[in-house]
C-alpha cells in the first residue's frame, strides 16, 4: 500500500470498482452498451453500439432515442425523488439563496421550454446563452435539450465581439441573457454586450432575465423579459424523444488559428459518459451526497459536471453565483460547512490561490463532510495536490485529477477513487472504457520513462465531439491527421513515469491555458493587430504561479504610434490602452499580463515567429537556440528591453 491507497472503507462503498477495468478490456463496445443502459433511460433502445465506418465521424448507440432533459429531470420525479434538492443556489450577495427540488426543476424547465417554443424555437434551431451562474441558465439549457434546440453557451466574461462571432457562426435565432451580473458585490452590465453583439446577426429575439435590476436599453419587438415569456408559461411540457445523435450543444473553444471552433456534442453518447464518469470518478451517491463543481457553466466542465452528469444521476448540488474571494476569502469553506458538501470539484488555479491566502482560512471551518476532491483544467503541481489533500481534505480524502477536454466531452484520464493508488500531480491512466497512449513523433508508444511525447486517444469514446460546426475539414485536420485516421491527437504533450502513470505536460500547439481556460495565441494576436497603433504582435503563454500560464505580448507599433509612445510616458498609457483593447475584443481573461513594445520579432527565414524564444524571455530564462533566426541580433534587442519595469 502506498501513502495514497484508498482506505478499505472508501473502497467498499465506492461506485467505481476494479471489475470495470476487466469488463472494458474484454469488450469495448459491450462495455459501453452496458453503461448506456445503466445510466440512461431510452425511449427506444439502440440497435447497435458504435458505427465507426465513416471515421472520424462517429455514431454511438445507433437507432436509440432519448430525451436528455427527461433523463436529467422528469425520470427522477417519476421515481419518487421529486422532493430531493437538485440545486442549492448560493447567490453572490446572499439576496436570492434558494433550494430547487427536482419537482420544481421539472416545472421550471417545462415553463422555459414552453416559453422558448412560444418565441418560435424549434427542434434544430440554435440558441445562444450568454448568462452567469444562476438557476435560469440551467433551466434554459435543459429547456433547449428538451426541445432538441442545440444551445451555445458563451461565457459571460466574454466581450461583445467574441459573442457576435459565436452568434454568427452558430446562426443563433434567439439569445438569452440577463440584465446584469454581480461581481464582487457590484452589479455589472451584461445585456449591454448583447445589444452590441446582435446588431446585424440573424438573432431575432433577445430573452432577458432580470437579476440585478439595473437599467437596460430596450429594443421593442426584439427584446423580451423572461418574466413575461417564461414565468407565466404552462408548467408541464411533453418531452419528445430525439435520435441518439441529435445535436445537444455547441461550445466554442480556442484553436490554433484565430477563429474559435464550434465543438459539436450530441445526445446519447455524451449523456452516457457524463453520467458514468460522474458516478465512478466523483463517486456520486445521489441519495446522500452534496456535490459541488465550482466551474463556470459557460465552460465545458459546467456543462458536463454541473448540468448533464450530476442531473442525469439525480444528485443534489451547489450552484454558486459568486467568486472565491467575495464576500470574503473563506466563502468556499463557509459553503462547504453550511451545506455539508461531500464532493468538491475545482481547478488548480483556485487551489493555488487558496494556498497563497494561507491554510488558516479553511482551518476556521468544519470541512469534515468532504470525502472526495477533484481537480480539472490544467496540470496540478504535486505541491498544490498535497496542500489540497492536507488542508481541505483533512489529509485523507482521495483526489481525482481528471484530464479531459471540451472535445472529449467528459472525463478520460483519472484515477478511480476507490481503486487507484494515487500519484500526486498525475491524472494517471484512462478510466475503464477509454484508451489513451503517449506516442512519439513516429506514432510509436513511448517506452522510455524520460522521453516526452503526445497524448493520443486510440479508440472512439461515446462523449467524443462529433465535429467542428460547419467545418468537417478542420475537424479532420486538427484532430485526426497527426496520428490518424483512427487516432485522436489531443494537442497535449505527455510522458509516462516508471509506474506507467501518464503525466500531462501542457499544450504543444499555440494554445495557452490561463486559469484553466484555453486561449489561442492567434486570437489574441489578431485582437492586438486590430488596434490602429499596432503593426505586428506575438503572444506567448508564460508560466505563472497562480494562473498556470499568463498572457505575454510582444508588439511592434506602427511608425506614427511608435514616435508618439517614445515622446510620451515611455508607452505606459499606450500599454494600458492595448491591454484594455484585448479585454474589450476577447474578454478580461485574455488581457496580457504585460506587453512589451519591440522593434522586431524573432522570425525564421520563412517568416514564422519563433514563440519559443519569446517564451524564454517571458519566463526569464536564457534564450535557447537562435541559429534558425533570420536576424540573430533581434533577441539581444528584445532582452535588453526586458530590463524595463513590468506592467501591472
Ligand atoms: C488541460 C477542460 C492536465 C489540457 C476540461 C487539455 C489538463 C485542456 C487537465 C482542455 C488535467 C485539462 N491535467 N491538464 N487534469 N484537465 N487539462 O477544453 O491541456 O477547457 O487539453 O477542457 O486543459 O481544456 P478545456
The alpha carbon of 187 and the centre of ligand 1 are apart by a number of angstroms equal to 31
On the question of pLDDT at 190 being above 70, the answer is yes
405 lines ligand 1 (CB under 6 A): yes
- Cross-strand bridge partners of residue 317: 87, 291
The alpha carbon of 76 and the centre of ligand 1 are apart by a number of angstroms equal to 31
The burial class, CB within 10 Å (0-12 / 13-18 / 19+), for 407 is buried
Read off the DSSP letter of residue 6.
Answer: P
- Higher-pLDDT residue of 400 and 636 is 400
pLDDT value of residue 645 = 37
401 lines ligand 1 (CB under 6 A): yes
Give the mean model confidence (pLDDT) for residues 361-367.
98
Read off the DSSP letter of residue 593.
Answer: S
Closest by CA position to 245, among listed 220, 219, 271, 223: 271
Spatial separation of the C-alpha atoms in residues 75 and 39, rounded to whole Å: 12
Residue 332 parent element (H or E):
helix 331-339
- Non-local CB neighbours of 330 within 8 Å, separated by 6+ positions: 361, 362, 364, 365
The helix-helix angle for 135-147 and 102-118 (nearest 10°) equals 60
pLDDT value of residue 347 = 94
Taking CA atoms only, the protein residue closest to ligand 1 atom 6 is 405
Confidence of residue 562 (pLDDT cuts 50, 70, 90): confident
The alpha carbon of 404 and the centre of ligand 1 are apart by a number of angstroms equal to 5
Q: Give the SS3 label for residue 186.
A: strand
Spatial separation of the C-alpha atoms in residues 61 and 465, rounded to whole Å: 15
Which tens digit of pLDDT belongs to each residue from 605-614?
Answer: 766 778 888 8
On the question of pLDDT at 185 being above 60, the answer is yes
The alpha carbon of 405 and the centre of ligand 1 are apart by a number of angstroms equal to 5
- Higher-pLDDT residue of 221 and 621 is 221
pLDDT value of residue 624 = 75
**Domains of the chain and CATH, by start:** 8-494 (3.40.50.12780), 515-645 (3.30.300.30)
263 lines ligand 1 (CB under 6 A): no
Residue 421 parent element (H or E):
none
Whether 152 contacts 262, CB under 8 Å: yes
Q: Which residue is it, cell 493555488?
A: 352
Closest ligand 1 atom to 490 CA:
21
Q: Which of 28-37, 561-570, 619-628 has the lowest average pLDDT?
A: 561-570
pLDDT value of residue 643 = 42
Closest by CA position to 463, among listed 640, 637, 616, 244: 244
Which tens digit of pLDDT belongs to each residue from 422-449?
Answer: 999 999 999 999 999 999 989 999 988 8
Name the H helices within 95-217.
102-118, 135-147, 160-170, 191-198
Which tens digit of pLDDT belongs to each residue from 107-165?
Answer: 999 999 999 999 999 999 999 999 999 999 999 999 999 999 999 999 998 999 899 99
pTM greater than the 0.85 cutoff: yes
Closest by CA position to 292, among listed 250, 339, 248: 339
Mean pLDDT of the chain: 93
Confidence of residue 490 (pLDDT cuts 50, 70, 90): very high
pLDDT value of residue 567 = 57
The helix-helix angle for 28-39 and 19-26 (nearest 10°) equals 120
Which tens digit of pLDDT belongs to each residue from 254-302?
Answer: 766 667 899 999 999 999 999 999 999 999 999 999 999 999 999 999 9
253 lines ligand 1 (CB under 6 A): yes
Whether 105 contacts 86, CB under 8 Å: yes
413 lines ligand 1 (CB under 6 A): no
Which tens digit of pLDDT belongs to each residue from 540-561?
Answer: 999 898 898 999 999 999 877 7
pLDDT value of residue 151 = 98
Q: Hey, which of 507, 513, 520, 590 would you mutate to test ligand 1's pocket, going by the most ligand atoms within 8 Å of its Cβ?
A: 513
pLDDT value of residue 449 = 83
pLDDT value of residue 68 = 99
CA distances to 103, 291, 339, 474 from 368, rounded to whole Å, are: 30, 14, 12, 48
**How many CB atoms neighbour CB 244 within 10 A?**
27
- The DSSP code sequence of 609-629 is B-HHHHHHHHTTPPP---TTB
Confidence of residue 184 (pLDDT cuts 50, 70, 90): confident
Which tens digit of pLDDT belongs to each residue from 10-38?
Answer: 999 999 999 999 999 999 999 999 999 99
Spatial separation of the C-alpha atoms in residues 213 and 186, rounded to whole Å: 12
On the question of pLDDT at 329 being above 60, the answer is yes
Give the mean model confidence (pLDDT) for residues 346-356.
92
- Higher-pLDDT residue of 255 and 343 is 343
Spatial separation of the C-alpha atoms in residues 183 and 516, rounded to whole Å: 20
Taking CA atoms only, the protein residue closest to ligand 1 atom 3 is 379
Whether 98 contacts 85, CB under 8 Å: no
Q: Hey, which of 516, 517, 547 would you mutate to test ligand 1's pocket, going by the most ligand atoms within 8 Å of its Cβ?
A: 516
pLDDT value of residue 512 = 84
Amino acid at each position: 500500500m502506498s501513502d495514497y491507497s484508498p482506505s478499505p472503507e472508501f473502497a467498499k462503498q465506492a461506485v467505481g470498482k476494479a471489475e470495470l477495468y476487466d469488463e472494458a478490456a474484454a469488450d469495448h463496445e459491450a462495455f459501453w452498451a452496458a453503461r448506456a443502459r445503466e445510466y440512461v433511460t431510452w425511449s427506444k433502445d439502440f440497435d447497435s453500439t458504435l458505427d465507426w465506418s465513416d471515421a472520424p465521424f462517429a455514431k454511438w448507440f445507433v437507432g436509440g432515442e432519448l430525451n436528455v432533459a427527461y433523463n436529467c429531470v422528469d425520470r427522477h420525479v417519476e421515481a419518487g425523488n421529486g422532493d430531493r434538492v437538485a440545486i442549492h443556489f448560493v447567490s453572490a450577495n446572499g439576496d436570492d439563496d434558494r433550494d430547487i427540488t427536482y419537482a420544481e426543476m421539472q416545472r421550471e424547465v417545462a415553463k422555459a421550454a414552453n416559453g422558448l417554443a412560444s418565441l418560435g424555437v424549434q427542434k434544430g434551431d440554435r440558441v445562444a446563452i450568454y448568462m452567469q451562474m444562476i438557476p435560469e441558465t440551467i433551466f434554459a439549457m435543459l429547456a433547449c435539450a428538451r426541445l432538441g434546440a442545440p444551445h451555445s453557451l458563451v461565457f459571460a466574461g466574454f466581450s461583445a465581439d467574441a459573442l457576435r462571432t459565436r452568434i454568427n457562426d452558430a446562426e443563433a435565432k434567439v439569445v438569452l441573457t440577463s440584465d446584469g451580473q454581480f461581481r464582487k458585490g457590484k452589479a455589472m452590465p451584461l445585456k449591454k454586450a448583447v445589444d452590441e453583439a446582435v446588431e446585424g446577426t440573424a438573432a431575432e429575439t433577445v430573452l432577458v432575465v432580470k437579476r440585478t435590476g439595473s437599467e437596460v436599453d430596450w429594443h421593442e419587438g426584439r427584446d423580451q423579459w423572461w418574466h413575461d415569456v417564461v414565468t407565466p408559461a404552462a408548467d408541464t411540457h411533453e418531452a419528445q424523444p430525439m435520435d441518439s445523435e441529435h445535436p445537444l450543444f455547441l461550445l466554442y473553444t480556442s484553436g490554433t488559428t484565430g477563429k474559435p471552433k464550434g465543438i459539436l456534442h450530441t445526445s446519447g453518447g455524451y449523456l452516457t459518459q457524463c453520467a458514468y464518469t460522474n458516478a465512478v470518478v466523483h463517486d456520486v451517491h445521489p441519495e446522500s451526497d452534496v456535490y459541488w463543481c465550482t466551474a463556470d457553466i459557460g465552460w465545458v466542465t459546467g456543462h458536463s459536471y454541473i448540468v448533464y452528469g450530476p442531473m442525469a444521476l439525480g444528485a443534489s448540488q451547489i450552484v454558486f453565483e459568486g467568486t472565491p474571494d467575495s464576500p470574503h476569502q473563506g466563502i468556499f469553506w463557509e459553503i462547504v460547512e453550511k451545506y455539508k458538501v461531500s464532493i468538491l470539484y475545482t481547478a488548480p488555479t483556485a487551489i493555488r490561490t487558496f494556498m497563497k491566502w494561507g491554510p488558516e482560512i479553511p482551518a476556521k471551518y468544519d470541512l469534515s463532510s468532504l470525502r472526495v476532491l477533484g481537480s480539472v483544467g490544467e496540470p496540478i503541481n504535486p505541491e498544490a495536490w498535497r496542500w489540497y489533500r492536507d488542508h481541505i481534505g483533512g489529509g485523507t480524502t482521495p483526489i481525482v485529477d481528471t484530464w479531459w477536454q471540451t472535445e472529449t466531452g467528459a472525463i478520460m484520464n483519472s484515477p478511480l477513487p476507490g481503486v487507484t493508488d494515487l500519484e500526486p500531480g498525475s491524472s494517471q491512466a484512462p478510466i475503464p472504457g477509454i484508451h489513451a497512449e503517449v506516442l512519439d513523433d513516429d506514432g510509436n508508444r513511448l517506452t522510455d520513462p524520460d522521453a516526452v511525447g503526445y497524448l493520443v486517444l486510440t479508440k472512439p469514446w461515446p462523449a467524443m465531439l462529433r465535429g467542428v460546426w460547419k467545418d468537417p475539414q478542420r475537424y479532420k485536420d486538427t484532430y485526426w491527421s497527426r496520428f490518424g485516421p483512427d487516432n485522436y491527437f489531443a494537442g497535449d504533450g505527455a510522458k509516462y513515469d516508471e509506474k506507467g502513470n501518464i503525466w500531462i505536460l501542457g499544450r504543444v500547439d499555440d494554445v495557452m491555458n490561463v486559469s484553466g481556460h484555453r486561449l489561442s495565441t492567434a486570437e489574441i494576436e489578431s485582437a492586438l493587430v486590430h488596434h490602429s497603433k499596432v503593426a505586428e504582435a506575438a503572444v506567448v503563454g508564460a508560466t505563472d504561479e497562480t494562473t498556470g500560464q499568463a498572457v505575454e505580448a510582444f508588439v511592434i507599433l506602427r511608425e506614427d504610434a511608435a514616435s508618439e509612445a517614445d515622446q510620451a510616458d515611455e508607452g505606459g498609457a499606450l500599454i494600458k490602452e492595448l491591454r484594455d483593447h484585448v479585454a474589450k475584443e476577447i474578454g478580461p481573461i485574455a488581457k496580457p499580463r504585460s506587453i512589451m513594445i519591440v522593434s522586431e520579432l524573432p522570425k525564421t527565414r520563412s517568416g514564422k515567429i519563433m514563440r519559443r524564444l519569446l517564451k524564454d524571455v517571458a519566463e526569464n530564462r536564457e534564450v535557447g537556440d537562435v541559429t534558425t533566426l533570420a536576424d540573430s541580433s533581434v533577441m539581444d534587442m528584445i532582452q535588453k528591453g526586458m530590463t524595463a519595469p513590468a506592467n501591472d
